[in-house]
């Protein structure tokens, strides 16, 4: 996948949902930095710049995700999933992700993030990674004054501690 | 595998005892798991399914559990034996009859654990208990899941959790179900009222035999709907809270009925027992409704010499496949209804109403 602004490979992927329309932007790290989407510190995103992009004020046009996409691994077309309600392989969650997220939100009561058991072989690594991510999201939520979300994140962090101890 | 010998005992979940067993029949927890890097069952070729089956069969047979699991191929089984396993809740209707190709089930002798291979997901692990035993059922299945996971890699991402064929299961892949018997709320026409709270906290109610089945004989299955964004422990705790509420309502309704309509209840139970003891034709639906009344009578101590275990045995033995195994021959339509009535008459000959 190429960067939206230049020909370099894209490494920063943003998905946004505005008025029920899903679109994606792919950028290379250099362009993302230039657009101020990622600051020099690796710890946090530039929230105002991300929000600006998400609300369509960025200068670049954004292309809609293809509803007729097909999973390159198992060959399952997205339309097949829509008709049967069953995905083709684990990779589909990645390939159809922008299309799946709103569906997950609907069937899973608004949540699109796993909380709970982790496979034994990844438990230690994933628990740490998840804690780091939750804490950074918490920081973001506080920054944009979304206190409801912040409270949820705090609960999730607390629950992670409990899970980790078992 | 010959399943006929299984008619001589009942699965642990039908023991008729355990916590809150006057209202709660059984507890069941299932986990959906898939192997990493393999297409889900419905998109897999017969060759891929055969490979998944042999891999998982090997893993399952090597598991060191207190009760060893025995693997049986469902594909190679006669239709009546598959139906027999459905009635014992060891396999799903889908695994029995809808899905095709290599598939099977492993279960232990007391029937507390069953692992379905090549269901909608590669692996469906299930733990069953008598009464309200969410913690025990979770502890068992969690341990079996860990043991399997130490030998195979599951499809999992940190973000979406355990990946499943259907997005309604993704995340924990856990569905915990509690089977309730609510005859007093049924008689008082208060079932809907008691269930009103369920939707708000994302729990679902179904009939006895799972998805799409009608609630017969006031048996209801309550299970969690959400699998993403809520931990197993949190889900189980939500279910527990609601189940205790419903148990409270049902007991209150039973007390009220006994105080205000004792003669009516007594009559209902006696008539149910009388019909079961004398009818010469009996459908499985009617059996379910009548045994429901008898079960209520047993728990209200209106029936002297019947144990909850016997009532459960009658429930399961009058299911079509069980009945045919007991009679030792295939029976259809009227012959089956006649055989069912004969079986019930013989079993209940000595049971009487006492008050």
Q: What is the reported pLDDT for B353?
A: 47
Domain boundary among B254, B273, B296: B254
What pLDDT is stored for residue A78 in this prediction? 92
Model pLDDT, residue A139: 93
Is residue A127 within 8 Å of residue A160, measured between CB atoms? yes
B242 and B282 both lie in a single domain: no
CB B306 within 8 A of CB B279: no
Q: Which residues of A touch B40 (CB under 8 A)?
A: 86-90
Same domain, B174 and B95: yes
Q: Do B168 and A107 touch (CB under 8 A)?
A: yes
How far B161 CA lies from chain A's nearest CA (Å)? 5
Tell which of B228, B254, B280 closes a domain: B254
Four-residue CA torsion sign, A126, A129, A135, A141: negative
B3 domain residue, yes or no: no
Note the pLDDT of residue A134.
86
Tokens read off for B254: 């039973």
Q: Distance from B204 to chain A by nearest Cα, in Å?
A: 13
Where is the domain boundary, B214, B230, B254?
Answer: B254
Nearest one of B296, B262, B288, B34 to A88, comparing CA atoms: B34
Residue A17: the pLDDT is: 54
Residue B315 falls inside a structural domain:
yes
pLDDT in tens, A31-79: 666 665 554 444 445 554 554 555 444 444 444 556 778 999 999 999 9
Q: φ, ψ for residue B344 (rounded to 5)?
A: -65, -40
In order, the DSSP letters of B148-197 are: HHTTS-B-EETTTEE--SSTTTTBT-EEEEEEEE-HHHHHTT-HHHHHHH
Claim to verify: residue B145 and residue B280 sit in the same structural domain: no
The pLDDT value recorded for residue B50 is 96
Is B355 a domain residue?
A: no
Q: Quick check: is B5 in a domain?
A: no
Q: Which residues of B touch A (CB under 8 A)?
A: 34, 36-40, 42-43, 120, 142, 145-146, 149-150, 153-163, 165-168, 170-172, 174, 202, 225-234
User: Residue B1 falls within a domain, yes or no?
Assistant: no
- Tell me, yes or no, whether B2 lies in a domain: no
Same domain? For B193 and B235 the reply is: yes
Residues B86/B60, Cβ–Cβ less than 8 Å: no
Q: Which of B52, B123, B160 to mutate to test the interface with A (most CBs of A within 10 A)?
A: B160
CA distances from B101 to A16, A87, B21, B50, B164 (A): 41, 19, 39, 8, 19
Same domain, B151 and B225: yes
pLDDT at residue A44, rounded to an integer: 47
Q: Tally the residues of chain B.
A: 355
Contact between chains at A159 and B146 (C-beta distance less than 8 A): no
Contacts of A112 (CB under 8 A, 6+ apart): A101, A104, A105, B159, B160, B228, B229
Shared-domain flag, residues B46 and B178: yes
- Based on the fold, state whether residues B115 and B204 are members of the same structural domain: yes
Does residue B114 form part of some domain?
yes
Indicate if B159 and B306 belong to the same structural domain: no
Selecting from B37, B165, B231 the residue whose C-beta is nearest the C-beta of A116 gives B231
Q: How far apart are CA B95 and CA B339, in angstroms?
A: 28
Number of domains, chain B: 2
CATH number assigned to the domain comprising residue B111: 3.30.590.10
Q: Does one domain contain both B298 and B193?
A: no
Whether B94 and B180 map to the same domain: the answer is yes
At B124, list the tokens.
């469906």
- For residue B322, being part of any structural domain is answered with yes
Divide the 355 residues of chain B into consecutive groups of 10 and give the mean pLDDT of each group. Answer: 81 88 96 97 95 96 90 94 94 91 95 96 97 97 96 94 96 96 90 76 68 71 92 94 93 95 95 96 92 95 89 92 92 93 91 53
Range of the domain at B32: 10-254
Chain segment A98-140, per-residue pLDDT in tens = 999 999 998 888 888 898 999 988 888 878 888 888 899 999 9
Question: Are residues B98 and B154 both part of a single domain?
Answer: yes
Whether residues B309 and B192 share a domain: the answer is no
């Amino acid at each position: 996948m190429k960067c939206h602004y230049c020909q370099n490979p894209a490494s920063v992927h943003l998905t946004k949902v505005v008025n029920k329309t899903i679109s994606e932007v792919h950028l290379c790290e250099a362009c993302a930095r230039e657009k101020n989407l990622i600051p020099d510190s690796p710890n946090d995103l530039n929230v105002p710049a991300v929000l600006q992009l998400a609300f369509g004020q960025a200068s670049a046009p954004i292309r809609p995700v293809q509803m007729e996409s097909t999973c390159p691994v198992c060959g399952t077309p997205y339309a097949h999933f829509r008709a049967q309600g069953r995905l083709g392989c684990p990779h589909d969650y990645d390939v159809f992700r922008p299309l799946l997220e709103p569906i997950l939100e609907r069937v899973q009561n608004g949540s699109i993030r796993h909380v709970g058991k982790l496979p034994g072989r990844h438990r230690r690594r994933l628990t740490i990674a998840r804690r780091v991510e939750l804490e950074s999201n918490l920081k973001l939520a506080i920054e944009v004054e979304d206190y409801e979300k912040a409270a949820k994140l705090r609960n999730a962090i607390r629950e992670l501690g409990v899970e980790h101890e078992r | 595998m010959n399943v006929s010998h299984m008619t001589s005992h009942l699965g642990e979940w039908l023991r008729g005892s355990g916590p809150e067993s006057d209202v709660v029949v059984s507890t069941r927890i299932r986990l959906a798991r898939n192997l990493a890097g393999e297409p889900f069952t419905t998109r897999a070729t017969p060759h891929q399914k055969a490979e998944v089956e042999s891999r998982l069969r090997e893993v399952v047979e090597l598991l060191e559990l207190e009760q060893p699991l025995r693997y049986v191929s469902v594909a190679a089984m006669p239709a009546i034996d598959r139906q027999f396993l459905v009635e014992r809740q060891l396999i799903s209707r889908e695994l029995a009859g809808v899905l095709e190709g290599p598939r099977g089930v492993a279960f232990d002798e007391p029937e507390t654990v069953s692992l379905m291979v090549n269901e909608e997901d590669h692996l469906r692990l299930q733990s069953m208990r008598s009464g309200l035993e969410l913690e025990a059922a979770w502890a068992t299945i969690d341990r079996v899941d860990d043991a399997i996971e130490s030998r195979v890699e599951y499809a999992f991402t940190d973000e979406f959790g355990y990946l499943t064929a259907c997005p309604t299961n993704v995340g924990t892949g856990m569905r915990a179900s509690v089977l309730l018997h609510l005859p007093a709320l049924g008689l008082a026409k208060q079932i809907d009222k008691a269930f009103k709270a369920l939707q708000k906290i994302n729990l679902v109610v179904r009939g006895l035999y799972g998805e799409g089945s009608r609630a017969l004989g006031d048996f209801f299955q309550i299970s969690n709907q959400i699998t993403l964004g809520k931990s197993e422990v949190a889900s189980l705790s939500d279910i527990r809270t609601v189940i205790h509420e419903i148990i409270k309502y049902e007991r209150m309704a039973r007390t009220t009925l006994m105080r205000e309509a004792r003669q009516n209840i007594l009559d209902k139970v006696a008539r149910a027992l009388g019909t079961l003891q004398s009818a010469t034709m009996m459908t499985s639906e009617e059996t379910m409704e009548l045994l429901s009344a008898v079960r209520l009578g047993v728990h209200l101590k209106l029936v002297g010499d019947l144990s909850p275990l016997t009532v459960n045995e009658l429930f399961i033995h009058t299911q079509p496949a069980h009945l045919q195994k007991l009679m030792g021959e295939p029976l259809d339509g009227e012959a089956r209804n006649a055989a069912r009535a004969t079986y019930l008459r013989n079993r209940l000959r000595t049971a009487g109403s006492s008050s």
